[in-house]
Amino acid sequence: MSDDCPLPRVRGMSADGGVSVCDCLAAGTMWMQETVDLILVRGDVEKVWGRARLQPHHCLAGLPPGLMPHLVLSLAGVQQLVNIPSPQVIKTHLPFQLVPKSFWENRCKVIYVARNAKDNVVSYYFCDQMNKTQPEPGPWELYLQKFMDGKLALGSWYDHVCQYWAERANHCILYVFCEDMEEHPAQEIRRIMDFLEVELPSQVLEKIIRQTSFRIMKENPMANYSSLPRAIFDQSVSPFMSKGQVGDWKNHSTVAQSEAFDAHYQRCMEVTSLHFRTQI
């Protein structure tokens, strides 16, 4: 490891009292980050827009291939993270085993966003199409197989979602399903408020629900990354925020692909109590 590699600094970060929003990529971290930010500033949209927010190219990034992703860190991003005032809201896609121990030792709260695998892989695919920091994803059928084999940037989706699920009783982890957020936003935002120990009046809750709706966020430059150059995110290929619909996988997978995926999914998930909905 080179002397200028920031990994030791990441391992030693305190993040005292901070909040980490995490997912396996393309499952709703931006949605959750916006929700958490609005809760912490009591629905003040201007304050949210003024908060320091890490850009994706400043954060931890995985590089394929391999079951265990190789991680590269941006020195600028780590320094930016250190300088964010408390309470820090950190967005990451790190697998559980790579989360710095200091996150847990310093009472960092983790909100994990999980999305059903079929919709997740579709969003993942379109994200990789426009993400020019990653190799071209190739045809859909090969990409789907790579997802099943755990050979995409962040390794196995199954390991990622199941490890956080298994550790939620041992650490300060709130597990939130993307499908529940879409179907019952008020209920799920109240769960997040309770987890963050924040009380808000009903009118502020309604404001947060409106502000974090897909329609509003799709037009929000703080959420849609429209300010990033095409050399990083080429949104002429695919928008960062595409549809946000539960069940969109039906528009992309053939019957044969869906059946093969289901069989593989059942084998991989038979030992966990974690269950997802593929439609609402």
Active site residues: 93
Angle at 86 between CA 84 and CA 91, to 5 degrees: 60
Residues 6 or more apart in contact with residue 229 via CB below 8 angstroms: none
Measure the CA–CA gap between 41 and 44, rounded to whole angstroms: 6
Tokens matching residue 48: 């949210």
Strands, E assignment, the chain: 19-22, 61-63, 70-72, 89-92, 109-114, 173-177
Distance CA(149)–CA(144), nearest Å, equals 9
First vs last C-alpha separation in the chain: 47
Helix (H) or strand (E) holding 105: helix 101-105
Whether the Cβ atoms of residue 232 and residue 132 lie closer than 8 Å to each other: yes
Where would I find the H helices in 113-184?
117-130, 140-149, 157-167, 178-183
Contacts 24+ apart (CB under 8 A), 143-147: 144/253, 144/257, 144/261, 146/64, 147/117, 147/121
